[in-house]
Amino acid sequence: MTRPDTAIFRSLREAGRALSAPLAAMGCGLLVCSIIVFLSGTHPWDFLAVTWKGSWGSGQAVAATLGKTTPLLLTGLAVSIAYQAGFLNIGCEGQLTLGALCAATLAALDLPLPRFVLVPCLALAGACTGALWAYPACLLKQRRGVHEVITTLLLNYVAIHLAQFLVLGPLGDGSAMGRTPEIPSKAALDPLWESGALGVTAAPPAALLLALGVQFWKSRTVWGYEATMTGSNPAAALCAGISTDRLQRRLFLLSGAFAGLAGSLEILAVHHRFYNAFSPGYGFDGITVAFLVNAAPGWLWLSSLLLAGLRSADKWLQILLGVSPNIIVVIQAVLLLAAASQGRLRERAAALFERTRRKPGGPSFPAEGRAP
């Protein structure tokens, strides 16, 4: 009866578990939207074909998708790492916005630094800003017991409006466009590969490496272990002599830093200046990205690629089919709902599987058989 428990089988099983949920959720999302599209008079097949074409069907589409993957992967990472410590950081949007603004402003100063020093410094400056913006929420949580969902959510709006004020006033380029001056070319990330007008920079692979690094940290290091246990039961971790407050504070700051980094990379790699409201909700999408794979950092690349693909397909739906790009928001909502209920669904599926498997041969008895 025992299933093989070697390392290979174990990792295969884990991979199967990790993959099944986001893919099943994706299937649900596309199915629901096909029905909606069908009811509004478009053939579902056209809808699926255009969605595929817009996300992966051409070089340009791939470049667009990979470009959008970076911020999604990093905000997903931000949500995951906070969640690991037992916090829900839904303030990534604000942290990302201010991180981007900081990187754009510093880059526009045209500091006399060599390129290989300047770019990492700008990226880091954005990360620090994000961490700084996360700090008050953490402080309020630990000192006053204010729930972080409330504080991080509300700080988003403070951040977005603060950025708007700054970019229309002191930090703007003087036009009434709500943007900062363009950054010098030596501060921008160059494309490694180009397709048409779009290019892929070093940002997506860097984000991927970062996520894999966090996965390694979580599963292999002492610090990662302590963080995981703290998130699972703070009281028990405290009794085991772990300084839970300090640990949670660090992880929360790190979470803010990842969101800030998402913002600064977006400026350095894509926009090359800060526009008011440049983020189409990457911070909030990070929540979907994270929970689609049960907040496992090692699988964030998958969920962020899926979401980025949908994001880059939306304008093609409008152009080719006349379907509102908001349909993508519907898919995303179904994705999140499916992801949120995946634990329950998996339980049901497993029970069903057990039942069907046991039926034909009758129950098999474990070796026991001692008569009373």
Partner 1 sequence: MKPADFPSHDPVLSLRGVSKRFGSLWANRDISLDIRAGEVLAVVGENGAGKSTLMNLLYGRLQPDSGEIHVHGRRVRFSHPRQALAAGIGMVHQELQIFPQLTVLENIVAGSTQSRSPWVRHRERAMEIGSLCSNFGFDLPLEGTAGELPFARRQEIEILRALYRDARILILDEPTSLLAPPEVEKLFRFLGSLRTQGRTILLISHRLSEVFALADRIGILRRGRLIGTYPVEEVSREEIAGRMIADSSIREPKADVPSADRFPLESEERDTGIPLLRLQNLHTPSWSRDAGIRELSLEVYPGEILGVGGVVGNGQRSLAAAVAGIGPISRGRLFLEGVEFTRSSIAERLEMGIRRLSANPPEETFAPHRSLWENLLLGFQRRPAHRKGGLLRKAEILRWTIERLEEYEAVYSNPRKPLSTLSGGNRQKAALAHAFAGTPRLLILEQPGRGLDVHSQERLHRRIRAMSSRGVSFLFFSYDLDELLSVSHRIAVLYRGRLAGIVSRRDASLQLLSRWMFGLPTSDGEDLRSREGPLQ
Interacting residues toward partner 1 by CB under 8 A? 1-2, 5, 10, 220-223, 225-226, 228-229, 232-233, 235-243, 363, 365-366, 368, 370, 372
CA distance 337 to 141: 27
CA distance 277 to 266: 13
Task: Give the residue with the Cβ less far from partner 1, 192 or 340.
Answer: 340
Beta-carbon count within 10 A of 215 CB = 18
Shortest Cβ distance from residue 11 to partner 1 (Å)?
Answer: 12
Shortest Cβ distance from residue 232 to partner 1 (Å)?
Answer: 3
Task: Give the residue with the Cβ less far from partner 1, 2 or 175.
Answer: 2
What three-state secondary structure class fits 276? coil
Task: Give the residue with the Cβ less far from partner 1, 225 or 275.
Answer: 225
Shortest Cβ distance from residue 49 to partner 1 (Å)?
Answer: 42
Shortest Cβ distance from residue 146 to partner 1 (Å)?
Answer: 19
**Both ends of the chain: CA-CA distance in Å?**
25
Task: Give the residue with the Cβ less far from partner 1, 16 or 372.
Answer: 372
CA distance 3 to 26: 29
Shortest Cβ distance from residue 224 to partner 1 (Å)?
Answer: 8
CA distance 215 to 207: 12
Task: Give the residue with the Cβ less far from partner 1, 221 or 326.
Answer: 221
What three-state secondary structure class fits 2? coil
Beta-carbon count within 10 A of 223 CB = 13
Query: What phi and psi values does residue 91 have, to the nearest 5 degrees?
Result: -100, 20
Q: Which residues pair with 198 in a beta bridge?
A: 195
Q: Which residues pair with 193 in a beta bridge?
A: 200
Task: Give the residue with the Cβ less far from partner 1, 58 or 243.
Answer: 243
Burial (CB count <10 Å: 0-12, 13-18, 19+), residue 369: exposed
Task: Give the residue with the Cβ less far from partner 1, 186 or 346.
Answer: 346
CA distances in angstroms from 177 to 54, 114, 180, 206, 298, listed in the order given: 29, 30, 9, 31, 40
Burial (CB count <10 Å: 0-12, 13-18, 19+), residue 168: middle
Task: Give the residue with the Cβ less far from partner 1, 3 or 41.
Answer: 3
Helices (H), 145-170: 148-168
Shortest Cβ distance from residue 364 to partner 1 (Å)?
Answer: 8
28, 35 contact by CB (below 8 A): no
82, 252 contact by CB (below 8 A): yes
Task: Give the residue with the Cβ less far from partner 1, 193 or 216.
Answer: 216
Shortest Cβ distance from residue 231 to partner 1 (Å)?
Answer: 9
Shortest Cβ distance from residue 229 to partner 1 (Å)?
Answer: 6
Shortest Cβ distance from residue 337 to partner 1 (Å)?
Answer: 23
CA distance 89 to 153: 8
